Amino acid sequence: MAKGVKPRVKVPKTASAGETITIKTLISHKMESGQRKDSDGNAIPRSIINRFTADFNGENVIDVTLEPAISTNPYFQFDSVVPESGDFKFTWYDDDGSVYEETKSIKVG
């Protein structure tokens, strides 16, 4: 597992049924592009988050494929409809096989 990886997600705690909310996500990750060289001139191997997904109660909201051109600490902002109370599940997939997950509950009332 890459060191110092920490997902952060901002989701409102409550919404009204059918409301559109904005979600912000960020995961701390160095996103080594594979283009850089170390001080001896050797290429530093690529090590990035290659996929990010967001689901609400099992229904997909967004599914992103990331390439090395995404900046360090990948950030995404997007919208979702909230039809009922439930859980947002966010998943990041690392090149090294690690999977990072974060869950946020939202209440419709």
Residue 67 found at the interface with other proteins (CB under 8 A): yes
DSSP letter at 97 equals S
Q: How far is the CB of 5 from other proteins (least distance, A)?
A: 17
- Using the rule CB under 8 A, is 86 a contact of other proteins? no
Among 80, 90, 94, 106, binds other proteins (CB under 8 A): 80
Among 53, 33, 31, 51, which residue's Cα sits nearest to residue 43? 33
Q: Are 5 and 27 in contact (CB under 8 A)?
A: yes
- Binding flag, residue 37, other proteins (CB under 8 A): yes
Give the integer Cα–Cα distance in Å for 51 and 55: 13
Q: Which of 6, 12, 77, 107 forms a contact with other proteins (CB under 8 A)?
A: 77
Q: Which residues fall within 8 angstroms of residue 42, CB to CB, at 6 or more apart? A: none
Give the one residue of 60, 96, 97, 101 binding other proteins; rule: CB under 8 A: 60
Pick from 6, 17, 59, 103 the residue near other proteins by CB under 8 A. Answer: 59
Label the pairing between strands 49-56 and 14-15: unpaired
Given the rule CB under 8 A, which residues bind other proteins? Answer: 20, 33, 35-37, 55-56, 59-72, 74-81, 83
